[in-house]
Amino acid sequence: MRTCGSALIVVAVLAALAGPARAGDGESALSLSVGYGIWSVPGEEKDTRIGPDGGAVLGVEYERGFGEAWSWRVAAAGGGYAGGGWSGSGWAGAGIVYRFDVLKYVPYAEVSAGGVVLAGGPLEEARFEPAAEAGGGLDVLVDRELSWGLEARVGVFPGEIVIFTVGLRGTHRWGFF
């Protein structure tokens, strides 16, 4: 309990020392991400799921600000997975991002709609389905134009496909004046 209290004090001090990011209308950002991913689909037997052991996921994202805390986004990602044979996934979608704070450490949440394709591995045939994705992360501002961060996303699809990814992302921003 004492360690948790000390950690909260350190986080509060760091937040107080951080400079403002002042995001806003017209700001653009391009992000590249790399991480770990896993997917699963319902199995043939009741209450079972099939999927790979895991794999690598690469993504690209473009954001455009339309308010101090809001941006719209378009994103695409692809992954390769091992376990049960090699398989792959592709995702593309569009949505919105909300930034909770504009300090040096910027937590954010995002939701998107789009589509996913899965093929190979334990699947008998390729599957394409519409998708809803939710995620979030923490950007750490290096300066006004560059940041890096951690992110996690989960995609849920009508056919009960689930994709989870977690990784690192780097972002370049421009057009903020």
- Mean pLDDT within 133-161: 92
Q: Could you tell me where the beta strands, DSSP code E, fall in the chain?
A: 28-42, 49-50, 54-65, 70-82, 87-99, 105-120, 127-141, 146-156, 162-174
What is the per-residue pLDDT across 150-163, written as a single tens digit (0 to 9) for each?
999 999 887 788 99
Q: Cβ distance 89 to 118 under 8 Å?
A: yes
Q: State the Cα–Cα distance between residues 124 and 22, nearest whole angstrom.
A: 50
What is the per-residue pLDDT across 22-63, written as a single tens digit (0 to 9) for each?
456 689 999 999 999 999 988 888 778 888 999 999 999 999
Q: State the Cα–Cα distance between residues 101 and 11, nearest whole angstrom.
A: 14
pTM summary value: 0.81
Tell me what pLDDT residue 8 has: 42
Number of domains in the chain: 1
CATH value at residue 28: 2.40.160.20
What is the per-residue pLDDT across 102-132, written as a single tens digit (0 to 9) for each?
788 999 999 999 999 999 998 889 999 999 9
Instruction: Tell me the percentage of the chain whose pLDDT exceeds 90.
Output: 63
Which residue, chain included where needed, has tokens 């403002």?
20
Q: State the Cα–Cα distance between residues 176 and 147, nearest whole angstrom.
A: 14
Containing domain of residue 70, as a range? 2-174
Dihedral class, residue 88 (left if φ above 0, else alpha if ψ from -120 to 50, else beta): beta
Tell me what pLDDT residue 24 has: 61
**Sign of the alpha-carbon torsion through 49, 51, 53, 58:** negative
Q: Cβ distance 25 to 177 under 8 Å?
A: no
